[in-house]
Structure 1
Amino acid sequence: MALQKILDEAVSAEDAPFLVGMTGNAQGITRSGASGDAAPDRPAATDTVFRIFSMTKAVGSTAAMILIDRGELDFDTPVEEVLPEFADIRVLDGWDGDTPVLRAPKSKATARHLATHTSGLEYEFWNAGPGKYMEKTGTVSILSGLKASMFYPMMSDPGTRWGYGPSIDWLGLMVEKISGKRIDAFLKENLFEPLGMSDTDVEVRDHMAPRLAGVKARGEDGQFGDFELAPPSDPEVYGMGHALYSTPEDYMKFLRMFLNRGALNGHRVLSEQGVARMLENHMGPLTFEKMVTVAPPVTADFDPFPGTTKTHSFGFMRNEADIPGMRRAGSQSWAGVLNSHYWFDPASDLAAVIMTQSLPFVEPRWMKTYEAFERSAYATS
């Protein structure tokens, strides 16, 4: 089915409020389309500005990989060696009434643990432990932008299991400390300017504001309604788990850089060896674990390609098996909570984004559209 027809049918069926889809390869963009209005009287387009939330994580991890490539950081550098305050974080070991029982972790979290979500830190949307801890202790959410909000307790010892959480926020702080630059300045100098990503930033700049999409959430009546959700502006910490705004056009430049083994349009940001090392499985014997929601209005369960093994590279979820008619083994992917999704497949020389701004994350009708889009991308590539 043609890309445009898939987008139009999904918007018509209200499976998404609007959609932008793009595919590309190492040489350039191969297909693009858009359907619906991103904001009142503002048709969705490939330069629409999105709150990309957890699509930020790959960018933050790439910043750390740039330092590893330069020999300024190691995969196995303990976090507390760079950020001593990280040593204050304890493992939540249970409850004594309403009092959390905390203990020291049995192992030290490393940069690799942060990048692969095996540090023990988990979000309150997929694990009830952090939410209860926040409620009983008055700890604020990571979306507050406050440094104090980053001290979630660990739900497990570092290196023992997959658990999705605010790890990349700490990885971004490691980049800041080692480079001596705030993360937005580091990204602009080392990634965004070399790749020509002029519409990607931690704030909605004046030239981006007229193209900013609105956010919709599906209500109990099944209809989309307006919803306010955005990263905090001018925070204490620009969290590399969620802070960026971008466009489909810009994010495709980032993905195509990996297909080109670290360079784009003559500008190199990672060595070829650095890209190869980054995209390897960095979890050892551990694997991605199904994410079970504890906040259904925000997110459904997430278990992509169930029954197949998924691991994590130093920046992305990694498929370890071919998916018939879709991505191949070694493909890398992730998404933002407002249903902005991407993958790139080095073996097939294919990268793609399919993006909107809606909740709940990965609801079944959204995932149906995503699968149709992906199958179409491979059928015509």
Structure 2
Amino acid sequence: MPDIDAVLRGAVDAGAVPGVVALAADRAGTLYQGAFGRRDLGADAPMTPDTVFWIASMTKAITSVAAMQLVEEQRLELDAPLGGLLPHLSAPQVLEGFAPDNTPRLRPARQPITLRRLLTHTAGFTYNTWNPEMGRYMAATGLVAPRSGKLESLRAPLVFDPGERWEYSIATDWVGQAVEAASGQRLEHYVRDRILAPLGMQDSGFIPGPSQHARRARVHQRAADGRLTPIDFALPENPEISTAAGAGCSRPGRTTSASCACC
């Protein structure tokens, strides 16, 4: 078995990653922990076990846990139409294409949107990043992107009927809306009270404080030649909606108690 330190240090030396933190643990405690490289290729700060990382779409799992807690408590139902709780989902529309003048063609969805379909990305939603039809729809209508943090961004039509197929999507942002409606709390407060605090995850939260900002690894972009360059990246810290439900969390490398810090 290769030496873990050598493998991770080699990845940094080869330019595969700016830096890396790794940890392995079981019920008895920590088996391995190591940190190599830098938090930012444009600065000298070393990568350390307590470095804070964006975990992006891994927030989907955290939001899904929140929803399933409410299912256990019978405050949400997996297979009931969500339109009664979230009125915008009561009469979803499916994008079928565009007229010659580029006007979107919409029709009523044939099946309801349910929590199960949102959780499994089979509700009919998509991301404009990967679906050109949704990108065209946004350009034609002026619909803002989910990253904006605007409530309007969730008013996107479906691109297929609920239950018809799978497509990675903004569905988990709607799960966050369902959690808020059923619990009466903002998502970040619910997650703090019901998930993070009980697990002792003191270095965790949707909105980073000064300490987390000081330890946060910078986002890098890989060029065509393979080189990594630091870039500026941030999500709204006080959004109208909890868009972080789908893609806005950061995680400290140190996992003393299943740590996950959400920005």
What is the TM-score normalised by the length of structure 1? 0.64
Match of 2:155 among 134, 151, 158: 151
Instruction: Quote the offset at 1:253 in angstroms.
Output: 0.8
- Give 2:131's aligned residue: 127
Alpha carbons of 1:251 and 1:149: their partners in 2 closer, same or farther (altered >3 Å)? Answer: farther
Match of 1:202 among 180, 200, 206: 206
What one-letter code is carried by the residue in structure 2 that aligns with 1:29? T
Matches within 5 A, 1:282-297: none
Instruction: Quote the offset at 1:89 in angstroms.
Output: 3.5
Instruction: Quote the offset at 1:44 in angstroms.
Output: 1.2
Return the alpha-carbon distance in structure 2 between the equivalents of residues 75 and 203 of structure 1: 29
In the alignment, is the contact (CA less than 8 A) between 2:89 and 2:113 conserved in 1?
A: no
Q: What are the superposed Cα offsets for residues 128-154 of structure 1, whole Å, 9 maximum, x if unpaired?
A: 111111111111110000000012221
Instruction: Quote the offset at 1:252 in angstroms.
Output: 6.6
- Give 2:74's aligned residue: 71
SS of 1:253's partner is coil
Does residue 225 (structure 1) correspond to residue 226 (structure 2)? The answer is: no
Instruction: Quote the offset at 1:194 in angstroms.
Output: 0.6
- Give 1:242's aligned residue: 247
- Give 1:93's aligned residue: 96
Instruction: Quote the offset at 1:33 in angstroms.
Output: 1.6
- Give 1:336's aligned residue: none
Return the alpha-carbon distance in structure 1 between the equivalents of residues 47 and 92 of structure 2: 43
What is the TM-score normalised by the length of structure 2? 0.91
Q: Which range is displaced more, 188-197 or 220-229?
A: 220-229
- Give 1:42's aligned residue: 45
In the alignment, is the contact (CA less than 8 A) between 2:252 and 2:259 conserved in 1?
A: no
What one-letter code is carried by the residue in structure 1 that aligns with 2:247? H
In the alignment, is the contact (CA less than 8 A) between 2:83 and 2:91 conserved in 1?
A: no
- Give 1:310's aligned residue: none
Matches within 5 A, 1:295-314: none
In the alignment, is the contact (CA less than 8 A) between 2:23 and 2:255 conserved in 1?
A: no
Instruction: Quote the offset at 1:250 in angstroms.
Output: 4.4
Instruction: Quote the offset at 1:196 in angstroms.
Output: 1.3
Match of 2:182 among 172, 178, 185: 178
Return the alpha-carbon distance in structure 2 between the equivalents of residues 89 and 204 of structure 1: 35
What one-letter code is carried by the residue in structure 1 that aligns with 2:250? Y
Return the alpha-carbon distance in structure 2 between the equivalents of residues 231 and 53 of structure 1: 10
SS of 1:59's partner is helix
Alpha carbons of 1:29 and 1:156: their partners in 2 closer, same or farther (altered >3 Å)? Answer: farther
Instruction: Tell me the matched-pair count.
Output: 256
In the alignment, is the contact (CA less than 8 A) between 1:24 and 1:252 conserved in 2?
A: no
Gaps of 5+ in 2: none
What one-letter code is carried by the residue in structure 2 that aligns with 1:241? G
What one-letter code is carried by the residue in structure 1 that aligns with 2:182? I
Return the alpha-carbon distance in structure 2 between the equivalents of residues 69 and 147 of structure 1: 28
What one-letter code is carried by the residue in structure 2 that aligns with 1:34? A
Instruction: Quote the offset at 1:157 in angstroms.
Output: 0.7
- Give 1:193's aligned residue: 197
Alpha carbons of 1:254 and 1:225: their partners in 2 closer, same or farther (altered >3 Å)? Answer: closer
Q: Which range is displaced more, 154-163 or 87-96?
A: 87-96
- Give 1:287's aligned residue: none
Instruction: Quote the offset at 1:234 in angstroms.
Output: 0.8
Moved over 6 A (4+): none
Q: Which range is displaced more, 21-30 or 176-185?
A: 21-30
- Give 2:215's aligned residue: 211
Gaps of 5+ in 1: 256-381
SS of 1:236's partner is coil
Q: Which range is displaced more, 207-216 or 80-89?
A: 80-89
SS of 2:84's partner is helix
Return the alpha-carbon distance in structure 2 between the equivalents of residues 245 and 163 of structure 1: 24
SS of 2:211's partner is coil
In the alignment, is the contact (CA less than 8 A) between 2:124 and 2:161 conserved in 1?
A: yes
Alpha carbons of 1:70 and 1:29: their partners in 2 closer, same or farther (altered >3 Å)? Answer: farther
SS of 2:207's partner is coil
- Give 1:253's aligned residue: 258
